Structure 1
Amino acid sequence: MNSPLSPTHRQHIERAASGAMTPAGQRRQRGYRSPQFAEEQHCRLLVNCYAREVAMQEHTLAVLPAAHAAERLPTPADYQGQVLDIALPRVDSRLRVGVLHVSATGNFDYTTEVFVQRGQGAWRAAGWEALARLIIEDLSARANTDFNAELLQQIGDSIATMRDLLARLPAPRRPGAPVSPLQAYIDSEQSLLTGHPFHPAPKSRSDWSPDEQRHYSPEHQARLTLRHFQVPREWIVSDSLDQVPASELLDQLSAHGLHADAGCVIVPLHPWQADWLARQDTIAAAMRDGLVRDLGAHGLPFHPTASIRTLLAESADCFLKLSLSMRITNCVRTNARHELESALTGTRLYRAMKAEMQGHFPRFHVLEERAFLTVAIPGGHGERHRELENGFGLVVREGLGKLIRDGVNPVMCAALFGNGEHGRQQVFALIERFALHHGHPLERAARLWFARYADAAVYPILYLLFEKGVAFEPHMQNTVVGLDPDGAPSHIVLRDLELTRLAPKAHALARALGLDPATLEQLCCSDERAWTRIGYCLFVNNLCEVVATISNGNHALYLELWGVLRHTLQNYLLQFPSPEANRRIQGLLAGEPLPAKGNLLTRFLRQADRQASYLPLYHPLGVVNGAPAAAN
């Protein structure tokens, strides 16, 4: 029988959690409470994005042993890490930064500041603005366009937001203090301190003042009371899955105690959005005429989740996805009518196959989008009019209350993976608990823990794609992992069906629902586009981050985890062989690249998210040996 954690294993996990020395090098990142952390983190984010989206594509990137670098970075004499070197020949410059290990997927773990050399000048530590300007200058020369000052401003806004929320972090809970599963889940939704690790401005919320940031942001542990507008019933456009009108569901959900006038409906709004709408000329005129009434803030409080505009009810039995007419990362976060209809259509389609999915994958769950409501304001047309209408759109989503009552401990995946040291500490605590519970050495426990996660996520998502033609969006913020009492993954929960895409295999079923042409056009796509959605969301955004977090700079473990994933994919093909699955999975196992989303390029080119480019991302699946996680 394997013994519990040895002193060596325990020291390794303590080193990993504290950010001290690891076998691969020395961490020198400042802690979250350092005044410089937000700036340094955004430097790392810019390197992440540029490396993956530009340097890897143009072959201007190399990882060098520190001792063999042409010019050493100003690091301690005993530095044993490696150096990421990126050439920017269009602007006659180079970037260098210490990293723990080589990463084929660009999931680097940084150990030093970022250094810049212009021409043949001296190497200097790069401040965030100098680095951002250099990268934007390079992209401008690459695309033959003007300098994008808007992107520079978004990065600065993101830094200001991160700096403010980190300066106001509450004191950590006392170790061992009891926390309910619901509170632990809310904590996970509100703990994204660093945001998307491959976005240049993950905390950009430029439309909010500092006071609004603190009042509405999940990272500030906000609790919101909804504002309510009364609008004419003939303006309402809604749908519901279970014959209960959306307006009744909303009344029950917020328990506002208000009574609508005859011929009117009460519509809940995010309080910031209510203020925004009230300032718009069309709505202000309707208020003056008495057609729209602002009834104020009433009812039960809600918890903002990581997406900022999606709120969790106090009971946890429902989420409410509201509209915010402001850009958060790539998109203005309003709900267009075709998106609302797509969300309910995704639920209707999944209900038709739910029994089969539960038979194959009993611990996989998709949160239903149960109703939507929006408005159609008479007498208007054009983009501006649609913007106002979209600003009212909302979705009622199934919550996690039943799963929690059934003994599942849910945690949003983005809180664990890709969330810096804060997430890494939680992951290692879970793996340590799992190792102690089962008497495994730590690295074996890490492989087994990852195998459980990969099995739970990969099998049902690939089955939906290859057998049903359904592509959800299983990226980090859309995926919730349920944990066993021993800290191991037991359930995978997917949410947010607004961007469901249907491959040709599902087109006939979608057409049979009698959808309007705009919604049908949004839903249906080619096999290639559906695979791009899953290849990016599941593999690049999700599993690459899981592997990087668990391996924590241990390159041998990093390759072993990729071997476990290869074994998982091979086993999927044995259980569910099909021509499409065979073509895609065997392609990955032979080394075909994955699609990586170009968030930096999307922001630089001022494109809508639906226009985002996807770049080839190579990975170790084709060069590692597939092995069961339990192998010694």
Structure 2
Amino acid sequence: MNSPLLSRHLQPARPDNERFAERQHSRLLINCYAREVAMQEHTLAVLPASRSAHPAMPDDYRGQVLEIALPRVGSQLCVGVLHVSATANFDYTTGVCLRQGQDAWRDASWQEIARLIIEDLSRRADTPFNNELLQQIGDSIATMQDVMDRQPAPALPPLAATTTPLQIYIESEQGLLTGHPFHPAPKSRSDWSPAEQRDYSPEHKASMRLHYFQIPQQWLLSDSVDGDALQGLAAHGLQPEAGGAIVPLHPWQAGWMRRQPRIAEALRSGEVRDLGAHGRPFHPTASVRTLLAEDAASFIKLSLNMRITNCIRNNARHELQSALTGTRLYRGMQADMQSRFPGFRVLEEQAYVTVDLPGADPQLANGFGVLLREGVAGLLRQDVQPVMCAALFGNGEHGRKRVFALIERYALHRGYTLERAAHHWFARYAEVAVHPILYLLFEHGVAFEPHMQNTVVGLDGDGAPSHFTVRDLELARLAPQAQPLARAMRLEPETLAALCCSDERAWIRIGYCLFVNNLCEVIASIANGNHSLYLGLWGVLRNTLQDYLAQFPRPSANRRIQGLLAGEPLPAKGNLLTRFLRQADRQASYLPLYHPLGVVNGAAASF
């Protein structure tokens, strides 16, 4: 079937994996720099291409060319693209070319691109060259290449190789081959050796048993939303000695703990006991440190004292408390949400365990933090096929092939053309995702983090979106209208301070996570280079927002949504700048990102 969705159809031959990983990271760097710097400084242009108009392109090239000036380092970058993208979701068609000074254009390696961009940022910020970032990019390339070297040839259709709904779900968690499309080093895990990567990484289809330590009972700190929830963190058949408590760790974290002087001393003295690995295997999910139980009834979010993308991934106590507070607050809203949005769910954070480690650095104590989360078994029992959103959207060609297969299936079931099916499929996704998230924000004052990795789309028998699930409540934020509920819980000051924010910060959380990180990628993935369809999907989103306002015309919602429909920018997170400046994720800057909502015709998107 000829597809108006896939102007670049599936490539049957597997690319050279080293070249693929390097080219992918060159494009990631272009993505990040274009959105965070070039668009802000107006040093970017998309030009029509011909041999005479742009000598960097091949003789037979008929696309367009994205050109970015790096004036602080006297250089220019260019790459073939299918069309203009206001949001920097470009569809690339060539490798990246470089011109330094008045030299001729030539192919650029990832090292040249990375060095030039880092040097440009160094001069821009008047700071030293960040060699650590260059190393992280190299680590990410090596990880991606190793993953692809060990992948079997992809099956068609993409999800047909798995048989049960649970296997399909696990495969979606473990199938992120390219990762975050707007991060310079999405696969960087420099603390892991190649062998550890294969033992613990989701992309390598790993599974593992939890590792257990016994600690003194007086060190233990715990909480649960229900009386029996802590049983989900209980050791598998292990019984603590009198005065002891048993805590689970990620097996790599257990090794890290043993190397810390305070823990090594406690192990030698017998104050802490290493009980080893026990119980059934768990499957690592896309976040690497969150594991899914074999029966899918629960997730367990473990600490890892290593950097994954922007953060050291251990669980501070105030983060654990924030997660459970998110569950408790949502329970008070759940009846209202379910009556209005029956396809929307929030996975509960059910219990946590951590320690108060006498005489130790807080980072060491945080390394014991463990969180128990509700699993996806409930969705599976409802005959809904859960798929982690990042596996479909923002996962390069692998994700786009899956999206095409789903829309093609939907078109066949409904008797639609592919383009009509694409509009309807996205309209269903937008409604189940956008309406409840906006309602939580504007009616309840709650901002979760509905970015691609934190959300799960539920597919019905036609392959169309019917459910939308949010997970990971650790970074929930409360606008002023919801803060009295949190204060009534008598939370610790650090937890309360982390939860509460201004209306503006709550909107930034939703504007970035839902619109930029999620919906921009969904639209780009479905359109897959078809610019007419791309604009039509933005028109569908415009209709979705107008429908929301018609149902829930609260003044705060009207102000934000009408602003978007009039062309006000969205907030885009600066992952490249955050990594370059060596900042914590909470210090990340947000840049204005313009979009087509103010110029598309919603009526034309109605099919």
Determine if contact 1:69/1:83 at 8 Å carries over to the other structure.
Answer: no
The partner residue of 2:296 within 299, 316, 320 is 316
Determine if contact 2:50/2:57 at 8 Å carries over to the other structure.
Answer: no
The 1:174–1:199 alpha-carbon spacing in structure 2 relative to 1, beyond 3 Å, is closer
Match of 2:56 in 1: 73
The partner residue of 2:29 within 46, 63, 67 is 46
Determine if contact 2:14/2:153 at 8 Å carries over to the other structure.
Answer: no
1:196 counterpart letter in structure 2: H
Match of 2:486 in 1: 510
Offset, 1:69: 6.8
Give the distance between the partners of 1:325 and 1:144, measured in 2 at CA. Answer: 31
**Is it true that 1:196 corresponds to 2:180 in the alignment?**
yes
Offset, 1:16: 4.1
Offset, 1:263: 1.4
The partner residue of 2:121 within 110, 127, 139 is 139
Identity across the alignment (%): 70
Superposition pairs of residues 376-391 of structure 1, within 5 angstroms:
376-380=356-360, 385-391=361-367
1:35 counterpart letter in structure 2: E
Task: Tell me the secondary structure at the aligned position of residue 296 of structure 1.
Answer: strand
Match of 1:26 in 2: none
Match of 2:569 in 1: 593
Determine if contact 1:466/1:581 at 8 Å carries over to the other structure.
Answer: yes
**Is it true that 1:474 corresponds to 2:457 in the alignment?**
no
Task: Tell me the secondary structure at the aligned position of residue 301 of structure 1.
Answer: strand
Superposition pairs of residues 15-34 of structure 1, within 5 angstroms:
16-19=8-11, 31-34=14-17
Give the distance between the partners of 1:89 and 1:35, measured in 2 at CA. Answer: 30
Offset, 1:74: 3.4
Superposition pairs of residues 167-566 of structure 1, within 5 angstroms:
167-173=149-155, 176-177=160-161, 179-244=163-228, 246=230, 248-251=231-234, 256-380=236-360, 385-566=361-542
Offset, 1:625: 1.1
Determine if contact 1:231/1:267 at 8 Å carries over to the other structure.
Answer: yes
Determine if contact 1:17/1:424 at 8 Å carries over to the other structure.
Answer: no
Residue deviations 1:82-126, cap 9 Å, x none?
Answer: 000101111110000000111000000110000010000011111
Give the distance between the partners of 1:502 and 1:326, measured in 2 at CA. Answer: 29
Give the distance between the partners of 1:147 and 1:321, measured in 2 at CA. Answer: 35
1:216 counterpart letter in structure 2: Y
Give the distance between the partners of 1:31 and 1:504, measured in 2 at CA. Answer: 52
Give the distance between the partners of 1:338 and 1:416, measured in 2 at CA. Answer: 32
Give the distance between the partners of 1:628 and 1:557, measured in 2 at CA. Answer: 11
Offset, 1:378: 1.7
The 1:13–1:527 alpha-carbon spacing in structure 2 relative to 1, beyond 3 Å, is closer
Backbone CA RMSD of aligned residues: 1.4
Task: Tell me the secondary structure at the aligned position of residue 461 of structure 2.
Answer: coil
Task: Tell me the secondary structure at the aligned position of residue 50 of structure 2.
Answer: helix
Give the distance between the partners of 1:621 and 1:404, measured in 2 at CA. Answer: 35
Give the distance between the partners of 1:399 and 1:452, measured in 2 at CA. Answer: 24
Structure 1, unaligned runs of 5 or more:
1-6, 21-29
Determine if contact 1:218/1:304 at 8 Å carries over to the other structure.
Answer: yes
Give the distance between the partners of 1:587 and 1:108, measured in 2 at CA. Answer: 25
Match of 2:39 in 1: 56
2:246 counterpart letter in structure 1: I
Give the distance between the partners of 1:431 and 1:69, measured in 2 at CA. Answer: 40
Offset, 1:14: 6.7
Offset, 1:177: 5.0
Task: Tell me the secondary structure at the aligned position of residue 35 of structure 1.
Answer: helix
Count matched residues.
605
Match of 2:147 in 1: 165
Determine if contact 1:97/1:110 at 8 Å carries over to the other structure.
Answer: yes
1:18 counterpart letter in structure 2: L
**Is it true that 1:571 corresponds to 2:547 in the alignment?**
yes
Determine if contact 1:337/1:374 at 8 Å carries over to the other structure.
Answer: yes
Give the distance between the partners of 2:401 and 2:154, measured in 1 at CA. Answer: 13
Match of 2:131 in 1: 149
The 1:32–1:485 alpha-carbon spacing in structure 2 relative to 1, beyond 3 Å, is farther
1:530 counterpart letter in structure 2: A
Give the distance between the partners of 2:604 and 2:350, measured in 1 at CA. Answer: 40
Offset, 1:173: 4.9
Offset, 1:32: 5.0
Determine if contact 1:366/1:494 at 8 Å carries over to the other structure.
Answer: yes
Offset, 1:403: 1.0
**TM-score (norm. length: structure 1):** 0.94
Task: Tell me the secondary structure at the aligned position of residue 18 of structure 1.
Answer: coil
Give the distance between the partners of 1:87 and 1:178, measured in 2 at CA. Answer: 46
The 1:33–1:358 alpha-carbon spacing in structure 2 relative to 1, beyond 3 Å, is farther
Offset, 1:557: 0.5
Give the distance between the partners of 2:162 and 2:96, measured in 1 at CA. Answer: 40
1:327 counterpart letter in structure 2: R
2:26 counterpart letter in structure 1: C
